[in-house]
Amino acid sequence: MEENKNISTTVDKTERVVGFLALEFLALICFGFGGENGLTFLRVIGVCLALFLYPYAKNQFVKEGGVRKDLIALIPAGLTFLSFGFSRFWLSFYSASWFTGIIMCLLVSAGLAAACLLGYSVKGMKGLKRDYVFLAIGCGLALLVLISGLYSLVRYGVFYVKRFSKMVYYFDGVVFPVSKEAKILDGFLFREASLDFAKAPAVMLSCFGVGCLGCNPKKDKRFYAMLSFGILGFLDLILTPFKAGILLALFVYAYAGIMFGLRYLSNKGEKAEHRVKTGLRIAFFVLMAFVALGLIILVTDTFLGESASFLRKSSFIARKGSDNQYTYTRLGRLIETIEEIISATFFTTKAGVRSFNFVGFLFGSQATYIYNSSFAEFNFIYQNGMVGFSLLLVALFYGIYKAHHYFYESEDEDHLKFIVTGLMLAMFLYWSFLCDEAPLRHPQNMDEFFSNHQSLLLSFTRSNWALLGAFFFGYVYSPKKVAAKPVETKKEEEIHE
């Protein structure tokens, strides 16, 4: 008995230590500790931590009734993590040292897999409260927003984006608009970066407030913790002000409110529940069809070329002037950028003749030029080709499916469900419309150890946000429960008799 008690005590201590390290890992990822070099170090820590987390993941998988067939559905996600690290673009990016390139690419893929395993494992750790997991994420984001936000206010002032909307300054003979930048904490240095890049943590933090929909303020003190996170995030966005981020966060709150209402309707009976599930299933497939149709239209228009393009001659994209020249609208400029990326990936032009690039179509382009659009998915096409992009789409839609499954069927408390789905939606929308992979303005001291950068390219695939997204993917994942076999049930009844 004493021996069993000692073993149990040892297991509990191990779980506490591993759980504490997992919380530290998440908090440091959200804080962006150590800049680019620090992130590489955190990937190594994450891989080492995954070795200790494997037993907890295995126990959780068995507990949820998982079988080997359920792991097949994770193959596209695993291949997506692999494509995040290895691609034609990134192998040529590290062409100066192939050994260093392979190690760095391997660390990126292994780090994402480790973060995904962490997300799934924390559900199987009895000694680690799930509230602490998201408290660590919130605290990491809050500390980063507080430090960078206060420094931006000191340097620029309150409402500087509005007040200095027409003000510019010169640095080495280059013009920089004040209203399009903010201060970020990069390692242990403050740098100037684009507003879209700098305010991502504030948007994510503001969406913590959706968890309040699952709490009663009179009975649950956690309500005020989530409210505080949300207020801090919104305060940073409003004092800037960053309109795009505010609108995106409000959309997440509206979506959470709709999900709250749908869940309320589904609890009114089996018929209502069936209608809600049917409606959500239809909406999911409509979204898939819409994305597929939009992609087909963009690719087809790119193949036709500028002279035969039908999109560029549409009135809502381009308007014909008095000189018979087309002027692009704001939407038209976005579509033009996307088509330029697709064209640079699928085609090569020599001596004015455009030819199809089969290797580029499949595996992406080489790192001879960097395209920086506000759509992370289309940047991914340029860097990984259609093979990687197809895997990414499969993983995204599978993640959306699992997130809805988690929201309606998970045993988590309601506030956690709202936080997880809200943050996942905010992350997806932000890097689908406000991505910036070359955000640094007139960077200096690039050789600082904790603020070192190999280039001005800060790709989403190699960011702390990709690690956080992998964590959420692992957290919402659950295998399909296996129904008990009739024969086994009959045998059990005979035994009881």
The reply to whether 311 falls in a domain is no
Q: Is the pLDDT of residue 314 over 50?
A: yes
Q: How many distinct structural domains can be found in the chain?
A: 1
The reply to whether 348 falls in a domain is no
Q: Is the pLDDT of residue 213 over 80?
A: yes
Q: Is the pLDDT of residue 496 over 50?
A: no
> What tokens appear for 312 in the block?
């560029």
- Amino acid (1-letter code) at residue 454: Q
Q: Is the pLDDT of residue 3 over 60?
A: no
The stretch 91-99 carries a mean pLDDT of 84
Say how far apart CA 24 and CA 193 lie, in whole Å. Answer: 27
| Across 272-281, 302-311, 411-420, 430-439, least confident range | 302-311
On whether the pTM is more than 0.85, the answer is yes
The reply to whether 317 falls in a domain is no
The reply to whether 330 falls in a domain is no
Q: Is the pLDDT of residue 316 over 70?
A: no
The reply to whether 48 falls in a domain is yes
**Domain, as residue range, for 16:** 2-267+366-496
Say how far apart CA 66 and CA 437 lie, in whole Å. Answer: 38
Note the pLDDT tens digit of each residue in 285-300. Answer: 999 999 999 899 888 8
pLDDT in the model for residue 9? 52
The stretch 220-249 carries a mean pLDDT of 95
The stretch 196-208 carries a mean pLDDT of 96
Widest CA span of the chain, in angstroms? 92
Note the pLDDT tens digit of each residue in 442-478. Answer: 877 777 767 777 778 889 999 999 999 999 999 999 9
* 154 or 64, greater pLDDT: 154
The reply to whether 280 falls in a domain is no
* pLDDT averaged over every residue in the chain: 86
Note the pLDDT tens digit of each residue in 326-335. Answer: 677 777 778 8
The pLDDT > 70 percentage for the chain reads 91
The reply to whether 346 falls in a domain is no
Q: Is the pLDDT of residue 315 over 70?
A: no
pLDDT in the model for residue 301? 87
pLDDT in the model for residue 303? 86
The reply to whether 71 falls in a domain is yes
3-state secondary structure the chain: CHHHHHHHHHHHHHHHHHHHHHHHHHHHHHHCCCHHHHHHHHHHHHHHHHHHHHHHHHHHHHHCCCCHHHHHHHHHHHHHHHHHHCCHHHHHHCCCCHHHHHHHHHHHHHHHHHHHHHHHHHHHCCCCCHHHHHHHHHHHHHHHHHHHHHHHHHHHCCCHHHHCCCCEEEECCEEEEHHHEEEEEECCEEEEEEHHHHCHHHHHHHHHHHHHHHCCCCCCCHHHHHHHHHHHHHHHHHHCCCHHHHHHHHHHHHHHHHHHHHHHHHCCCHHHHHHHHHHHHHHHHHHHHHHHHHHHHHHHHHHHHHHHCCCCCCCCCEEECCCCCEEECHHHHHHHHHHHHHHHHHEEEECCEEEECHHHHHHCCCCCCCCCCCCHHHHHHHHHHHHHHHHHHHHHHHHHHHHHHHHHHCCCCHHHHHHHHHHHHHHHHHHHHCCCCCCECCCCCCCCHHHCCCCCCCCHHHCHHHHHHHHHHHHHCCCCCCCCCHHHHHHHHHHHC
Cis peptide before 479 (omega within 30 of 0): no
Taking alpha carbons only, the member of 396, 431, 422 closest to residue 244 is: 431
Note the pLDDT tens digit of each residue in 364-383. Answer: 898 888 888 899 999 999 99
The stretch 114-140 carries a mean pLDDT of 92
Confidence of residue 114 (pLDDT cuts 50, 70, 90): very high
Q: Which long-range contacts (CB under 8 A, 24 or more apart) does 458-462 make?
A: 458/36, 458/197, 459/379, 459/383, 460/376, 460/379, 460/380, 460/431, 460/435, 461/84, 461/85, 461/108, 461/380, 461/383, 462/39, 462/84, 462/108
Note the pLDDT tens digit of each residue in 29-70. Answer: 999 877 788 888 999 999 999 988 988 888 888 888 888 888
The stretch 271-295 carries a mean pLDDT of 89
